[in-house]
Amino acid sequence: MKKIRIAGLRQVTNLSQVEVPSLPMGLSQMAQILILLAENGINLEFVVTHAHADDTIDLVFGVQRNHIAAALGLLRGMREKFGWEEVRSRDGVGMISLFPHGSRAAVIGNFLSAFKDAGIRLLTISFSLSAISGLIEERLIPDALNALSEYFELPG
């Protein structure tokens, strides 16, 4: 199999994943969450949303593990204010991002195939024109990098 050349690869460790499920579809509460986190110095390494047919949206993001307590504290305050059912978190998460050249469909397909071949479950995945990012269990990052090396060639 011919490897696909990519522009770069990034890995981030020491993350926690936060999920705020079933927000009202309007952007107001999501905007308030993101602004509150930013005002408190909490940077997001990863953000993805998922809309449901019942006019709700799930917000999932990754923060540095040393910011998880502060992020959850802020979200609990908002949860009480808005009446959300829950806020979930998961520690021990890492992120791998690929920066593609050319056919994004091929890159995304091979990205997914590499994880499937390695038996690694993607916790969350995000696609954009500039990057393909996935959150996985942090301990599996070396296995994921090895699997990706079968499909992709870094420049240089």
Taking the CA atoms of 97, 99, 105 and 106 in sequence, report the sign of the dihedral they define.
negative
For residue range 126-139, list pLDDT tens digits in order: 988 899 999 999 99
Would you state the pLDDT for residue 80? 84
CATH number 3.30.565.10 given to 4-12+93-153: no
Q: In 3-state terms, what secondary structure has residue 3?
A: coil
CATH of region 15-91: 3.30.70.260
pTM of the model: 0.88
CATH 3.30.70.260 location in the chain:
4-12+93-153, 15-91
Q: What is the mean pLDDT of residues 95-108?
A: 89
Q: In 3-state terms, what secondary structure has residue 36?
A: helix
Nearest 5°: phi and psi at 127?
Answer: -120, 140
Would you state the pLDDT for residue 22? 87
Q: How many CA atoms lie within 13 A of 83 on its CB side?
A: 1
For residue range 52-92, list pLDDT tens digits in order: 999 889 999 999 999 999 999 999 989 888 888 899 999 99
Taking the CA atoms of 96, 97, 98 and 104 in sequence, report the sign of the dihedral they define.
positive
Integer Cα distance of 75 and 144 in angstroms: 31
pLDDT category at 28 given cuts 50, 70, 90 is confident
8 Å CB contact between 30 and 77: no
